[in-house]
Structure 1
Amino acid sequence: MSAHNRLFEEPFDRVDLAVEAALASLPEKYHGPFKTANHGTSNWGGTGRIDAFFTVEDHAEPQTKSFFIKTASGPTGLAMLTAEFESVKAIHAISPDFTPLPIASGTFASETSTHFLISVFHKFIPDRLTDPVEFSSRLGRLHMDSKSPTGNFGFPLQTYAGNLPQYTEWESSWEKFFAKSLRLALDLEIAVKGPDPRINALSPVIFGRVIPRLLGPLERHGRRVKPALVHGDLWYGNAGIDSGTDRSMVFDAACFYAHNEYEFGQWRPACNKFDQRYLDAYHQVVPKSEPVDDYDGRLDLYKLRFNAHVSALYPSNQGLREQVIGDIKDLIERYGSK
């Protein structure tokens, strides 16, 4: 059994030495005994809670603080957790109370094939959606207050949604960046589900006509797209309400700098609970990009990118491929003419 499964099987009073060292390096100087327990779920690794103790000189009894830990195995697990750590750091630097404070990422000393990410623990209110106005306005400020370190679209390292990579190479054009991002998602989907003659026949129209038709105008006639820091995987399950503050927070980030409206491709599927109220509230803070008439088409194009990636994440679900084909056909019918 791998270390990331053993770690949370039963509560116990020790942690891996690398985790202990990361906590001991904090200003409070956390020390054992550490109490650990399973907490939450993840499709791609283990998740748990660590209660750590520290001593304050004017207190006779040790004080405690809780941390969230996520673990994953192998080279992909290391890349995933490193990317998530850097993503959460980027969000936290702009909006410190919108995501848990990231503490460290690294590799277990006891089992070098297992890797970890640690952040401050927050208890979220179960089964309660974020408030549309409060949440969407905070998201809008994150998008607008962020600034790409290069002025371009991309991210300093490759990030992952689930256990699959996203395109994050730096590009000066949003149209070019998105085309490469969609191409990678479709390639990943085909790699796990096999070729499909419909995708082969229709993809040239998506890349040759639909993307230029919908994204080209964003960067013409003096317009430009601001590279905004997006969460990158913002479905309702990656947001919650902190029970201590009653304010919204986001987690499990897969960031890069993108057109801010890209975020809402993930909100487009009917199963998502971020409905029109959230979009309306967001656009009270951040106006729709020009040309506004293309807004719905852009979001449906961004939805295709998310749906292709999700289809790649679940190889046995053939229905997800049919959804991707349906998205492609719909976009071509609406925007694929010369």
Structure 2
Amino acid sequence: MCEGEYESLKAIYAVSPGFVPKPFAWGTYDQEGPEVYFLLAEFRDVGEQPADPMRLASRLAGLHQRSTSPTGKFGFHLSTCHAKIAQAVDTWNSSWCAVFSRHIGHTMSLAKPMLQWPEFDVVCQLTLEKVVPRLLLPLQSQGRELKPCLVHGDCWDGNTATDANTGDAFVFDACSFYGHNEYDTGNWRAPRHRLSNKAYIQNYEMHFPVSEPIEDWDARNLLYSLCFNIGNAIYIPGSQQRQVVYDDMTALYKLLSTHLTRIVLSPP
């Protein structure tokens, strides 16, 4: 967790200095007994949380636009952690669909034995086999190109703030990798987050337009939100996201099944 946080902050700081606390080091204490790890980073005085929509959106979009994958591909050079979940992003692949499938598939595999819900297992399989390729393959088909962007990885209310001394928006507690820029806004969908305020996504899209095909944006946003909500269902005591995730995956499958059927049945 400490190494992933350090590497995430270092990557973001290299592109957008000031948007994250400057990282200095990570390591383990020299002591007997259980290993204890540390992360050393610049102190930032936290003000208003979350940050102002205009300031946060512009800085996040700037990070996405200016970042460049060192391999030109999606993924990361090590696994980073979303809370206690070690994300399966430690790979490099030119296909965003392949990287995301591996990532969300790993998260689902952790959830299944904890939730012990056969119906959940079924909708997970349908999501991986049907929904993910239907929504993500078009991003890189028919001549479309998708830039691997450095994402924060867990951009929610508690991980963004206004610097009390400068007034600038900044983020922290990152679990980064190179992915589709819209992945970061998937965490803004949940009503439990104040970032669900429409002002955040509206300001973001002013700086970074929606990817083609535009008509798939809302379904993609719902798909990306699953990663965060599944994590919430696993690790947050009393979480209400178990049913929400199941309903969202069911809704996505039904929506896309209806859409695909309509295309097949329509006259040439």
Change (3 A) 1:176 1:128: closer
Does the Cα contact within 8 Å between 1:205 and 1:336 map onto a contact in 2?
no
Question: Partner amino acid for 1:237?
Answer: G
* Structure 1 vs Structure 2 CA RMSD: 1.4
Residues 227-265 of structure 1 show CA distances to partners (whole Å, capped at 9, x for unaligned) of: 100000110100111111111110000000000001111
Tell me which residue corresponds to 1:225.
146
| 2-structure distance, mates of 1:165, 1:146 | 23
Tell me which residue corresponds to 1:40.
none
Query: Which protein has greater RCO, CA pairs closer than 8 Å, 6+ apart?
Result: 2
Rg larger in structure: 1
- Give the superposition deviation at 1:320: 2.5
- Give the superposition deviation at 1:129: 3.1
1:177 counterpart = 2:99: yes
| 1-structure distance, mates of 2:175, 2:129 | 28
- Match of 1:118, SS state, is strand
Tell me which residue corresponds to 2:31.
110
Aligned length: 256
Residues 135-179 of structure 1 show CA distances to partners (whole Å, capped at 9, x for unaligned) of: 101100100100111111111100001111111122210111111
- Give the superposition deviation at 1:304: 1.3
1:305 counterpart = 2:227: yes
Question: Partner amino acid for 2:28?
Answer: T
Residues 8-31 of structure 1 show CA distances to partners (whole Å, capped at 9, x for unaligned) of: xxxxxxxxxxxxxxxxxxxxxxxx
Tell me which residue corresponds to 1:270.
191
| 2-structure distance, mates of 1:186, 1:200 | 8
Tell me which residue corresponds to 1:45.
none
Tell me which residue corresponds to 1:237.
158
Alignment partner of 2:58 out of 128, 137, 140: 137
Alignment partner of 1:290 out of 184, 191, 212: 212
Alignment partner of 1:206 out of 127, 131, 152: 127
| 1-structure distance, mates of 2:249, 2:212 | 23
- Give the superposition deviation at 1:301: 0.6
| 1-structure distance, mates of 2:239, 2:204 | 34
| 2-structure distance, mates of 1:201, 1:231 | 30
| 2-structure distance, mates of 1:132, 1:205 | 35
- Give the superposition deviation at 1:318: 6.2
- Match of 2:98, SS state, is helix
| 2-structure distance, mates of 1:118, 1:202 | 41
Alignment partner of 1:155 out of 76, 86, 90: 76
Question: Partner amino acid for 1:218?
Answer: L
| 2-structure distance, mates of 1:178, 1:317 | 28
- Match of 1:210, SS state, is helix
Question: Partner amino acid for 1:225?
Answer: L
Where in structure 2 are the equivalents of 1:33-52 lying within 5 Å? none
- Give the superposition deviation at 1:289: 0.2
Question: Partner amino acid for 2:84?
Answer: N
Tell me which residue corresponds to 2:265.
none
Residues 253-303 of structure 1 show CA distances to partners (whole Å, capped at 9, x for unaligned) of: 000000000111111101111121111111111110001111001000111
1:330 counterpart = 2:267: no
Change (3 A) 1:232 1:132: same
Tell me which residue corresponds to 2:178.
257
| 2-structure distance, mates of 1:189, 1:113 | 27
Does the Cα contact within 8 Å between 1:164 and 1:313 map onto a contact in 2?
no
- Match of 2:37, SS state, is strand
Alignment partner of 2:21 out of 90, 97, 100: 100
Q: Percent identity?
A: 38
- Give the superposition deviation at 1:128: 4.1
| 1-structure distance, mates of 2:122, 2:51 | 41
Structure 1 residue runs of 5 or longer lacking an equivalent are 1-79
Question: Partner amino acid for 1:188?
Answer: L
| 2-structure distance, mates of 1:320, 1:94 | 34
| 2-structure distance, mates of 1:293, 1:266 | 20
| 1-structure distance, mates of 2:53, 2:235 | 29
More strand by share: 1
- Give the superposition deviation at 1:133: 1.0
